[in-house]
Chain A
Amino acid sequence: MNATPTAPRHRAYGATIGRIVPFVPALIPMAILVGIVVELLISSKLTNFGWGFWGSIWDPPSQWGIAVFIAGSFLTALPALFFAMAIGLGIAIASTTYLPGWITRWLDPFVDLLAGIPSIVYGIWGYLLVAPFFGSVINPALYAHIGFIPGFGGLAPRADGLGLPVGVFILTLMALPITTLLIRDALRSVPRDLWEAGLGLGATRWETVRHVAIPYGSRGILSAAFLGFGRAFGETVAIAMVLNVVASYPTNVYGSTGTMAAEMFLSLDSAFGNTQWLAALSEMALVLLAISLAVNIIGRRLVARIVTYEVPGL
Chain B
Amino acid sequence: MNATANDGSAVVSVQHLTVRTKQKKLIDDLSLDFGPSSLTAVVGPSGCGKTTFVRSLNRMVELTPGLKVEGAILYLGQNIYDPRVNPVMVRRRIGMVFQRPTVFPTSIFENAAFGLRLVGEEIREIERQVEEGLRRSGLWDEVKDDLDRPALSLSGGQQQRLCIARALATQPRVLLLDEPTSALDPAATQRVEATMQRLKEDYVLVLVTHNVSQAARVSDRIAVLHTGHLIEVGPTAEVLERPRNPLTAEFITGRFS
A and B touch in the complex (CB under 8 A): yes
Give the interface of A toward B (CB within 8 A). 100-101, 191, 193-194, 196-204, 207, 211-212, 215-216
Which residue from chain B places its CB closest to the CB of A212 in the assembled complex? B104
Q: CA A193 – CA B103 in complex, angstroms?
A: 10
Chain A residues with Cβ below 8 Å from B115 are 201-203
**B170-A196 in contact (CB<8A):** no
B98 within 8 A of A: yes
Contacts A196-B60, A200-B58, A203-B118 hold; do A215 and B91 have CB atoms under 8 A apart? Answer: no
B100 interface neighbour in A193, A203, A211, A216, Cβ under 8 Å = A193
B106 interface neighbour in A197, A199, A207, A215, Cβ under 8 Å = A215
Contacts A194-B104, A215-B106 hold; do A200 and B96 have CB atoms under 8 A apart? Answer: yes
Number of contacting residues on B, CB 8 A?
25
Contacts A100-B65, A196-B60, A196-B63 hold; do A202 and B89 have CB atoms under 8 A apart? Answer: yes
Chain A residues with Cβ below 8 Å from B106 are 215
**A207-B118 in contact (CB<8A):** yes
Give the interface of B toward A (CB within 8 A). 58, 60, 63, 65, 88-89, 91-92, 95-96, 98-100, 102, 104-106, 114-115, 118-119, 163, 166-167, 170
A211 interface neighbour in B60, B65, B95, B114, Cβ under 8 Å = B114
**A197-B88 in contact (CB<8A):** no
Query: Closest approach, in angstroms, between the C-beta of A45 and any C-beta of chain B?
Result: 51
Chain A residues with Cβ below 8 Å from B92 are 202
Task: Return the 6 tightest CB-CB contacts between A and B, nearest first.
Answer: A197-B102, A201-B115, A200-B96, A202-B91, A202-B92, A193-B102
Query: Closest approach, in angstroms, between the C-beta of A219 and any C-beta of chain B?
Result: 11
Query: Closest approach, in angstroms, between the C-beta of B24 and any C-beta of chain A?
Result: 21
Chain B residues with Cβ below 8 Å from A211 are 104, 114
Q: CA A100 – CA B63 in complex, angstroms?
A: 11
A202 interface neighbour in B102, B104, B119, Cβ under 8 Å = B119
Contacts A200-B96, A201-B91, A202-B92 hold; do A215 and B63 have CB atoms under 8 A apart? Answer: no
Chain A residues with Cβ below 8 Å from B163 are 197
